[in-house]
Structure 1
Amino acid sequence: MNTVLKSISYIFHPLIMPLLGVAFYFSKTPRFIPDEAIKAKLFSTVILTIVLPILLFFLLKTLKKVDSIHLKTTRERALPLFINCVIICLILVRVFTPNEIIELYYFFVGILSSTLACLFLAIFKIKASIHMLAASGFFMFAVAIGVHFQVNINGTIVLMLILLGAIATSRLHLKAHTNTELIIGFFVGLFPQLILIKFWL
């Protein structure tokens, strides 16, 4: 069980949630988007939200700015969160602009808002679960996409609720977070996506 719970934290790492959101959108949208365009967007998302942050993490570790990938202290979190904000801004300017795919544009605006909030909390020594932040943000976006395109995503909702519970259990089991930190992370991830719905739904 320990191995399973530890694996959940790695498999459903916050870095993959933006990619899941983008892939989910392309799988549900009724709009015609050329396969080449979809592949280009997915490739850009992988490079900017997964590959680049991992490379920058190893750079920060080499420079002794962080101790581990878990970013256990609020001190360790500040610089990686700031860098992530810069990367998301780059995505908003170069990959998902408001004139192209408005739903994904606001999805990343929500991610940026959540990341800034998490950075603000870290500066004031308040730790929020980034795992829960990322998962709840994707969950809210998925629900909104289902409503927007009027498609049945009941299976996705059930799966995501199970996943949210599994992630919370995993983080508690590993003593990475307290209940309060998980709750803070959940709402910091969910509220920006919920608030921004009115701009595109």
Structure 2
Amino acid sequence: MKKLILLILLLAMAAANAIAARMYPAGGRVVDEQGQAVEYATVVLLRGGEQVAGMTTDDAGRFELKVPTGEYTLSIQYLGFDPVLRQVRVEADNDLGDIVLKSSSTQIEGVVVKAQLIRREADRFVVDVANAPAAIGKDGIELLERAPGVWVDDEKISINGKSGSKVYVNDRELRMEPAQLLTYLRSLRADAIQKIEVVPTTGAD
């Protein structure tokens, strides 16, 4: 029986900093090896292994993240392509230019997969795992790491840099400790997953 993994991000209330750091934009464009825009790729800036900011590329492959000045690791991920890690320094306006994603060695019929793999609906992103040759052999965590806006570390799953996500399988919420949840998701295989839905925000309570 196919399983449906549905991620829902709850809006988290965060305490405001007493002194707001000055933020600078770091932007660029994500393209494939043919120079075509890669839409809905996950772009994250990390400092000391911690996510500072994150988003998905738009339909032109563009992104812009605003963070305090400093040294960061830029991480870009998309199913069917090898991840990119790059050291960047953010200060004033930063144009990172075009960043090329290379097709994964396991990808099959890359152009077809790219066109059909991820679509955007009114309030969510849908990853069609069942029809994605690039998903073959991956587990649930590996698939989530390539889903739009999703970042997975050793303790939590966040969406677009915000914590407070909930995970549902077949409309049932998984109420587990973070370590247990990650272990369970790693036990899921791609051939048992029909699709993944990522809902970046929920309605206000």
Q: Same fold, TM exceeding 0.5?
A: no
More strand by share: 2
TM-score bracket relative to the smaller structure: under 0.3
More helix by share: 1
TM-score of the pair, normalised by structure 2:
0.26
TM-score of the pair, normalised by structure 1:
0.26
